[in-house]
Amino acid sequence: MTFEAILPELKAGKRAVRTGWEGTELFVKLQTATTFNGDPLNPYFLIKTADEAYSMWSPTDCDILATDWQLVD
C-alpha cells in the first residue's frame, strides 16, 4: 500500500508498518488530539519498537513515497 492509502486507516485508529523496515519497528499509529496540562495537543504519529516504548515519529520522504505499507493487528 502507499502512504496515501494507509493514512485514512491510521486516522481510523489502525496500525501500520512498512515491510521494508528491517529493524525493530513494530508499528506506527496516530495519536488523536488530546490535552496536556489543560492545553490542546494536535494529533501526532507514534512509533512502537520492540526494544523501547512509544516515540514520536514523522514520516520521511522515503516513507511517504514507499509502496510497502501494510496494516498490522
69 pLDDT more than 90: yes
Percent of the chain with pLDDT over 90: 86
Average pLDDT of the segment spanning 14-18: 97
44 pLDDT more than 90: yes
3-state secondary structure the chain: CCHHHHHHHHHCCCEEEECCCCCCEEEEEEECCEEECCEEECCEEEEEECCCCEEEECCCHHHHHCCCEEEEC
Average pLDDT of the segment spanning 15-35: 93
39 pLDDT more than 90: yes
40 pLDDT more than 90: yes
